[in-house]
Structure 1
């Protein structure tokens, strides 16, 4: 029987209070151990000069090369503006087959949009996007319920409208997947 574990790889600076809230949220929601680790990584290999953004796909591909344990679910946390093929920007990205995912803090901050900082909004957005990408690592797809954390966020408004939790349908799917641990 496999036992999953979540690893948060901090590739940027982030407030300890935010990390503690995120870790607690993820442990309670997924019922799994969450381990934090910090790394200093030069992301210049993923920078697209023309777009002035970083390729989330490139960063994930590089991380996947270092992953050895299929039971580990990896979430990379960066503070650079990310994009993915065919999209103007992304809050995050996941590859369920490799068990790796990434989120960016950049567009979750009010300041990105020229608004004053709001710690409460930022922490909630961080929890939602982390939960969403980790949900994909457990093979959950996008949900049509606008309040479910697995609903696709095409804008920050979409992220703010949804909750940081799974709807009953997604919760049941996650439970059945984890039951196969």
Structure 2
């Protein structure tokens, strides 16, 4: 994971918890690289949105920042920024973007807490962050968008859509992921259960327990 920006204590806590979650979700060793300053973004990839917040061109983050910094031993490199992102001039925003071919992606934390992360919205924002991050990284492992309405791999263009989706992938997408990464299903589910318990994600905990009951 490559943090880019200026993060407060709550945001840094979210990044650490997201690292913990992604390590479990993909069953791969996950590291947080040293933070890169927003100064890396030139003026021509910045704009001010209609809501008067600064946005960064998402493709630039992939092509001119992450590809150059991807460690040789990394399967993928995921950028996390506190800046809002936009994919094209005609688009308002995007939550995240990934390159299948290059194994790099980026997720913005900005809209998950409406630009103002606090103790009161921390868990909701974290749940959105782990959903979008796991979605984008799954793209890097070759998994495309899913038609299952609740699957984490279903495309999302709004927070309401993100909130409806499960953190859980549907059975077919889980099968695809396991075919690529060859992890132990039971070990992964037990670790997910522990994470959801610790962070009070009760709906995800219930679904994970049901999955465990099916394989035991």
Using the TM superposition, give the Cα deviation of residue 144 of structure 1 relative to its aligned residue in structure 2, in angstroms. 1.0
1:11 aligns with 2:4: yes
| 8 Å contact from structure 2 (residues 49, 92) kept in 1 | no
CA RMSD of aligned residues (A): 2.3
Q: Distance in 1 between matches of 2:141 and 2:31?
A: 17
Using the TM superposition, give the Cα deviation of residue 70 of structure 1 relative to its aligned residue in structure 2, in angstroms. 7.1
Using the TM superposition, give the Cα deviation of residue 91 of structure 1 relative to its aligned residue in structure 2, in angstroms. 0.2
Q: Distance in 2 between matches of 1:147 and 1:50?
A: 30
Structure showing the higher helix proportion among its residues: 2
| 8 Å contact from structure 2 (residues 128, 162) kept in 1 | yes
1:93 aligns with 2:97: yes
Residue in 2 that maps onto 1:4 = none
Deviations 1:101-153 (A, max 9, x none): 000011111456xxx95111111011111111111110111111121111111
Residue in 1 that maps onto 2:20 = 24
Counterpart secondary structure, 1:65: helix
Counterpart secondary structure, 1:93: strand
Residue in 2 that maps onto 1:131 = 134
Q: Report which of the two structures shows the higher radius of gyration computed on alpha carbons.
A: 2
Q: Distance in 2 between matches of 1:74 and 1:40?
A: 14
Residue in 2 that maps onto 1:53 = 55
TM-score by length of 1: 0.84
Residue in 2 that maps onto 1:163 = 166
Using the TM superposition, give the Cα deviation of residue 31 of structure 1 relative to its aligned residue in structure 2, in angstroms. 0.7
Higher relative contact order (CA 8 A, sep 6+): 1
| 8 Å contact from structure 2 (residues 70, 76) kept in 1 | no
Structure showing the higher strand proportion among its residues: 1
Using the TM superposition, give the Cα deviation of residue 71 of structure 1 relative to its aligned residue in structure 2, in angstroms. 4.6
Match for residue 140 of structure 1 among 132, 140, 143: 143
Unaligned runs of 5+ in 1: 1-7
Deviations 1:28-54 (A, max 9, x none): 111111101232232432213577521
Q: Distance in 1 between matches of 2:176 and 2:79?
A: 24
Counterpart secondary structure, 1:48: strand
TM-score by length of 2: 0.71
Using the TM superposition, give the Cα deviation of residue 177 of structure 1 relative to its aligned residue in structure 2, in angstroms. 1.7
Q: Distance in 2 between matches of 1:136 and 1:70?
A: 19
